[in-house]
Structure 1
């Protein structure tokens, strides 16, 4: 039986990434058993730049840890890690030294996770490996200061970011081989003739015994250590690292990281006791993984124009179609696409800041955060839909206010323009940071949210449905955190009427079915005779999840199906209903994305007759949890008394 400390660690880890991708209680319990609890007073240094990787990485249980980049004698904040966030993992997987200074920003409690135990999970839980790769490739660890135009926020992305894709290596590069009796010069001629960067040395039976790469020639021949007339055995690397033909791209990349090699030899049975069938290099893997999320994210971070960003986003949609076709989990797909979209926003921000500097406007005059709203704020935007965004900046002296706001409005105009060029349309209602109404300092945002919560008009409730799902994408996150804190302080002051009005708005959409169980379709307009997937089914689930988590004061989760998962843990008596609602919402996201890709639109409207019988059945089944959730809202917020 695990002790109480182990059980508490287990209960904490199972609800946070990356451990949510470990679907084995036994495996996760072993991790918890080897974990250690560490108390860190304010200012405690955990590791420094250049320190070798420790035998552990960390999860913040309580408090906050700052990751800082040292530039000369100056410290630049890269990220502040809060509850449930990990740090120190990259050096362990990449087997590289630490890049940042990690120091406790306040009194903190962290869980130290044993490295070896964690690495053992990679072989057994592919989704864990995929999540790590995506999250690292799209890491939000960037500085507030605008980078130089040629600087990429992904320049320090480690090798582990290529640990993606469950695709099989259907073919590897045909092997170029030579016998152990061959001379170095003979091997070099073969490599030049076939334009390859490696050659495998085999025995008379065709079994691999060594490998020679361009690096071996540079280090051992060009330096004069060995003569070109020597036998290949004098410079070859051995033993070779072998893999079988059924390995995935993720398997290959993990093997490269662990064995510290850039080439793997494919053999009939995966050992050096069988005939060679192919060779896979690090470069080959990148080619094979042309639509690998990590590769796309890295390319997005390096993009120098909106046109190229548009091309990369189109590649992302092809990858999305593949994922949907392979029935990969929506949880993973939304994580990938959110990281891609976030990186596009950051690159548009870099391009915009560079443009401001080129025009002589200089650096931002105050700290600021770019907020994603609506579906992107919830991490649910799979297709390129309308923009919903805002900008929040630190309060400044009244004498500076106009100049500061003008700067950020111009910056926001450039960002939204770049996003439009990428394919994210301008919001018809102008709910974008380029609108002066949605580009404000912290104090004004607090006043705005307080007003919305106090005056529950239809317009205010509509704004709440969009703006309450905000998420910081550019900045250090401190300003959005202030806004979140303000919202819950307002709720503590007694906002029962506000929550009831919010719950009532979640009931305003009529039943998706007619009396005769036909789909309720639009009766007029450009979408006549089509079913509004967003308004009829998705929005009621989204609105219900929002008001229920606000009521429960769950402020750390924006995503709709993760909100339902959090509610299921909080209310065991309603856990089954919440899980059904989460599953229904995942199904709806998948259906909308599939329809949107087929028609090259947002996927919001669909013609019921065009759905397959299976799709119609699944869609109808999703209506049941919608109705039951709405009944729960009526009861909990006593809405029958408001009518």
Structure 2
């Protein structure tokens, strides 16, 4: 019988990633039995840069740990870790030295996890290995919800329960160059072939090094190395090699063990034979689960909205699989947006076929179908209600009524098909089938001008929805004209309009009460529930939008990308903007997870239904919300408008 201390440790570990992926009580109890409980006074250093990894990694039970990066005598804060967060695991599994200093900044209680016992679990629990493979960043700690580069969608499909056992084969010809090539030539080859790495080979095509996008960003783009130097100046070597036809699980374990993103495939699995392929983490994401490319192909072949609904339901299974495996939100949103866009385009094709069957013929003018709100930002994971509009080219007055009637009829069919798929009609009727939102270019320009010059509450509401538009059908020329008009109008009314937008972003103050309880709805259908969208997500989307408008960046809608761009433009605020982006990822993940569990939009949460880790992540996301709102208040001098 396990003692009570071991049982308490087990009860704590079983709900926290990565331990939550071990679904065998006996196995996890064995890990818990080897845990050391360590009290760390303020100022205690757990490990230092350059030290070899100890035989343990750490979980914060209570208190706070900070990671610091040291350069000569200066240090900078990398990350602050709180209850339920793991650190020190990357160097341990990668067999590499620590990169950062870990220091207790509060009285802390740590669980020191024995690495030997933990390693034994990797071959037995593929979900655990996959979680580590997709979630470990190169930061010296084990980071949750860290965005990863967006992979390309492949063509092969494997069932989720078989994927880890089946062999994974390099599915593309590797791009190589000789050691005599210049860095600029290697970068050009990577760009031309749209790949994220290039292998440096000798005269017999044996691998001697590798260059990745990350090397180019960190060493060349920063100016540390000239792009005219030879590739040997920045390549990594020796190369990690594998033999052909290893299983997916074996490849993942190898990547986790070495803490690398690429494995070079050679004839015999060593660097003594020619290169035959390359496998990246991106390739692994493509292989696992329902393959997005297969779903997209099926959407293109669909003949009815009923079948589209079935495919969208399969997409939600894919989404659930990604969320369970803690795949990065940047990848998930990219996949889901691509699938949703294809469904919308298919519904437009079905609508065009129906109007032709009605005898109305082909479209009488150029038009673009616009998606708005979360889908316009490329952030819609669940099937929520529709937000869309239609823009068509200006036509002579005598043709206007007939042209608009045609597009209204088309829009009514398209929105009907979308409703059949599961995207419900918008309760506020913000759809292209509404005559108000089916307009020619000139009328749309007039409408946006009105919203920008008359800053009423209703206009601010419309701005929060319609300013996040994106064309999914058409050649894009009409939305581009609208974007150009908006920025022309900003030159006329920039200060007042942007201040009004910033003020709207402050409508929802801190989501926590003085006693650190969640601010819940006091009455109505959602009494005692927390409004995740209004109180946490909307302040961030509103803030990102107004900051991008101020920066005159009109072609970037996605909230993550907006904060990334702002971090690049304003280095002095980069840490805040990146924290805001990470907070938004946490919120999107939580909303999708809860929505799938309850089969609803995930917008309203009961605090008591959240796990300890979910509550912690949610609370932590509120701090960037508060800091972003403070930045807006100062930048746009909002105290004078209150």
TM-score per shorter chain, which class?
0.5 to 0.7
TM-score by length of 1: 0.59
User: What is the alpha-carbon distance in structure 2 between the residues aligned to residue 522 and residue 378 of structure 1?
Assistant: 27
Residue 124 of structure 1 deviates from its aligned partner by 9.0
- Equivalent residues in 2 for 1:227-626 (5 A)? 243-246=245-248, 291-626=290-625
Retained in 2: the 8 A contact 1:244–1:270?
A: no
The verdict on how the C-alpha distance between 1:442 and 1:116 changes in structure 2, with shifts beyond 3 A counting, is farther
Query: Residue by residue, what CA displacement relative to the aligned partner does 1:476-522 show, whole Å, maximum 9, x if unpaired?
Result: 11111111111111112242111101100000113211122111101
Residue 525 of structure 1 deviates from its aligned partner by 0.9
Residue 342 of structure 1 deviates from its aligned partner by 0.2
The secondary structure found in structure 2 opposite 1:440 is: strand
Q: Which runs of 4+ in 1 moved over 6 A?
A: 17-22, 113-117, 123-127, 247-250, 287-290
Retained in 2: the 8 A contact 1:57–1:114?
A: no
- Equivalent residues in 2 for 1:163-178 (5 A)? none
Counterpart of 1:209?
A: none
Retained in 2: the 8 A contact 1:57–1:115?
A: no
The secondary structure found in structure 2 opposite 1:243 is: coil
Aligned residues: 412
Q: Which residue of the other structure, out of 9, 28, 34, is the alignment partner of 2:185?
A: 34
TM-score by length of 2: 0.59
User: What is the alpha-carbon distance in structure 2 between the residues aligned to residue 566 and residue 56 of structure 1?
Assistant: 23
Residue 31 of structure 1 deviates from its aligned partner by 9.4
Residue 245 of structure 1 deviates from its aligned partner by 3.0
Retained in 2: the 8 A contact 1:567–1:575?
A: yes
Retained in 2: the 8 A contact 1:503–1:543?
A: yes
The verdict on how the C-alpha distance between 1:331 and 1:124 changes in structure 2, with shifts beyond 3 A counting, is farther
Residue 57 of structure 1 deviates from its aligned partner by 6.0
Query: Residue by residue, what CA displacement relative to the aligned partner does 1:388-428 show, whole Å, maximum 9, x if unpaired?
Result: 00000000010100000000000000000000000000000
Retained in 1: the 8 A contact 2:198–2:212?
A: no
User: What is the alpha-carbon distance in structure 2 between the residues aligned to residue 456 and residue 408 of structure 1?
Assistant: 30
User: What is the alpha-carbon distance in structure 2 between the residues aligned to residue 504 and residue 246 of structure 1?
Assistant: 50
User: What is the alpha-carbon distance in structure 1 between the residues aligned to residue 250 and residue 359 of structure 2?
Assistant: 50
Query: Residue by residue, what CA displacement relative to the aligned partner does 1:44-96 show, whole Å, maximum 9, x if unpaired?
Result: xxxxxxxxxxx7865xxxxxxxxxxxxxxxxxxxxxxxxxxxxxx58xx9xxx
Retained in 2: the 8 A contact 1:368–1:394?
A: yes
Residue 270 of structure 1 deviates from its aligned partner by 7.7
CA-based RMSD of the aligned residues comes to 3.6
The secondary structure found in structure 1 opposite 2:632 is: helix
Residue 289 of structure 1 deviates from its aligned partner by 6.6
Retained in 2: the 8 A contact 1:21–1:125?
A: no
The verdict on how the C-alpha distance between 1:637 and 1:530 changes in structure 2, with shifts beyond 3 A counting, is same
- Equivalent residues in 2 for 1:67-146 (5 A)? none
Query: Residue by residue, what CA displacement relative to the aligned partner does 1:368-391 show, whole Å, maximum 9, x if unpaired?
Result: 000000000000000000100000
Retained in 1: the 8 A contact 2:369–2:391?
A: yes
Residue 601 of structure 1 deviates from its aligned partner by 0.3
Query: Residue by residue, what CA displacement relative to the aligned partner does 1:416-474 show, whole Å, maximum 9, x if unpaired?
Result: 00000000000000000000000000000000000000000000000000000000000
Counterpart of 1:638?
A: 637
Counterpart of 1:629?
A: 628
User: What is the alpha-carbon distance in structure 2 between the residues aligned to residue 590 and residue 31 of structure 1?
Assistant: 42
The verdict on how the C-alpha distance between 1:579 and 1:355 changes in structure 2, with shifts beyond 3 A counting, is same
User: What is the alpha-carbon distance in structure 2 between the residues aligned to residue 31 and residue 569 of structure 1?
Assistant: 28
Residue 293 of structure 1 deviates from its aligned partner by 0.4
Deviates more, 1:358-367 or 1:510-519: 510-519
User: What is the alpha-carbon distance in structure 2 between the residues aligned to residue 586 and residue 114 of structure 1?
Assistant: 27
Residue 642 of structure 1 deviates from its aligned partner by 1.3
Counterpart of 2:126?
A: none
Counterpart of 1:184?
A: none
The verdict on how the C-alpha distance between 1:317 and 1:523 changes in structure 2, with shifts beyond 3 A counting, is same
The secondary structure found in structure 1 opposite 2:356 is: helix
User: What is the alpha-carbon distance in structure 2 between the residues aligned to residue 32 and residue 490 of structure 1?
Assistant: 44
Counterpart of 1:214?
A: none
The secondary structure found in structure 2 opposite 1:511 is: coil
Retained in 2: the 8 A contact 1:31–1:114?
A: no
Retained in 2: the 8 A contact 1:442–1:483?
A: yes
Residue 18 of structure 1 deviates from its aligned partner by 11
Residue 35 of structure 1 deviates from its aligned partner by 6.5
Counterpart of 1:254?
A: none
User: What is the alpha-carbon distance in structure 2 between the residues aligned to residue 517 and residue 242 of structure 1?
Assistant: 54
Retained in 1: the 8 A contact 2:386–2:424?
A: yes
User: What is the alpha-carbon distance in structure 2 between the residues aligned to residue 249 and residue 387 of structure 1?
Assistant: 41
Residue 624 of structure 1 deviates from its aligned partner by 0.5
The verdict on how the C-alpha distance between 1:114 and 1:332 changes in structure 2, with shifts beyond 3 A counting, is closer
Residue 641 of structure 1 deviates from its aligned partner by 1.1
User: What is the alpha-carbon distance in structure 2 between the residues aligned to residue 530 and residue 497 of structure 1?
Assistant: 35
- Equivalent residues in 2 for 1:178-197 (5 A)? none
| Structure 2: runs of 5+ lacking an equivalent | 1-146, 153-176, 201-206, 215-242, 253-266, 271-283
| Structure 1: runs of 5+ lacking an equivalent | 1-16, 38-54, 59-88, 94-112, 128-240, 251-266, 272-284
User: What is the alpha-carbon distance in structure 1 between the residues aligned to residue 370 and residue 250 of structure 2?
Assistant: 37
The secondary structure found in structure 2 opposite 1:493 is: helix
Counterpart of 1:84?
A: none
The secondary structure found in structure 2 opposite 1:390 is: strand
Counterpart of 2:164?
A: none
The secondary structure found in structure 2 opposite 1:371 is: strand
User: What is the alpha-carbon distance in structure 2 between the residues aligned to residue 465 and residue 57 of structure 1?
Assistant: 36
Retained in 1: the 8 A contact 2:199–2:211?
A: no
The secondary structure found in structure 1 opposite 2:471 is: strand
User: What is the alpha-carbon distance in structure 1 between the residues aligned to residue 149 and residue 597 of structure 2?
Assistant: 34
The verdict on how the C-alpha distance between 1:532 and 1:124 changes in structure 2, with shifts beyond 3 A counting, is farther
Residue 535 of structure 1 deviates from its aligned partner by 0.4
The secondary structure found in structure 1 opposite 2:390 is: strand
The verdict on how the C-alpha distance between 1:508 and 1:124 changes in structure 2, with shifts beyond 3 A counting, is same
The secondary structure found in structure 2 opposite 1:553 is: coil
User: What is the alpha-carbon distance in structure 2 between the residues aligned to residue 31 and residue 575 of structure 1?
Assistant: 32
The verdict on how the C-alpha distance between 1:535 and 1:400 changes in structure 2, with shifts beyond 3 A counting, is same
Retained in 1: the 8 A contact 2:391–2:439?
A: yes
